[in-house]
Structure 1
Amino acid sequence: MATLRERKNYRDAIMKALYQATEGNRLLGITGTKLRDDLRVPEQDLAAACAYLVGEGLIAVDWERGNTPAMVTLTHQGLRLMEREEQERGLDDSG
């Protein structure tokens, strides 16, 4: 089982990967398999992190059998959070 720090890191990594891969488009998503492989997150920890983020209203997940994320997408709230973080880091060129 992952430590608290690892769980937080997994959740942050999932949000960043989704935001980058979908370029802020809520209609696009990433498969759970791609997230697991790209982020090197154990399957059980990926499922737990996704369940947490769903509970927070930040992502939506289509689940496969065995609580495996099939497709993961940002919600409107998740997209707004990531855009706000991007602006705070000063990465927004629009001013």
Structure 2
Amino acid sequence: MATLRERRQYREAVLRALYLAVTDNRTSLSGDALREAVDLPGQDLAAACRYLADEGLISVDWTSHRTPTTVTLTHEGLRHMETEEDREG
């Protein structure tokens, strides 16, 4: 089981991958593209996506096996990432 620190890192990685997609004018990523971008096991990726979706930061279309098929950064998620970018730079 992932530690709290790892789970936070996974969620941040998902948000960053989606934010990069938006800056490349892509509105969403497939579950496979996201998994490749963040290099997480399926179970950890799904858990990160569930958490972020519950927080309203991303929108997820799920397969019947509860894995993400399409993941999109919401407006609130975009605002969150822009705030983070402002803090960093």
1:61 alignment partner in structure 2 = 60
What secondary structure does 1:54 align onto? Answer: helix
2:71 alignment partner in structure 1 = 72
> Structure 1 residue 38: deviation in Å?
2.1
Distance 2:24 2:48 in 1: 20
TM-score, structure 1 as length reference: 0.86
What secondary structure does 1:5 align onto? Answer: helix
TM-score, structure 2 as length reference: 0.92
Distance 1:28 1:21 in 2: 7
Distance 1:16 1:35 in 2: 10
- Please state which structure has a larger fraction of its residues in helix: 2
> Structure 1 residue 35: deviation in Å?
1.3
> Structure 1 residue 24: deviation in Å?
7.7
Q: Mind listing any 5+ residue stretches in structure 1 that lack a counterpart?
A: 91-95
2:23 alignment partner in structure 1 = 23
From the CA coordinates, give the structure whose radius of gyration is larger: 1
1:84 alignment partner in structure 2 = 83
Distance 1:24 1:81 in 2: 18
4+ runs deviating over 4 angstroms: none
Aligned length: 89
The question of whether the paired residues in 2 share the 8 Å contact of 1:32 and 1:68 is answered with yes
The question of whether the paired residues in 2 share the 8 Å contact of 1:50 and 1:59 is answered with yes
Percent of residue pairs identical: 56
1:42 alignment partner in structure 2 = 41
Distance 2:84 2:44 in 1: 24
Name the aligned partner's letter for residue 77 of structure 2.
Answer: G
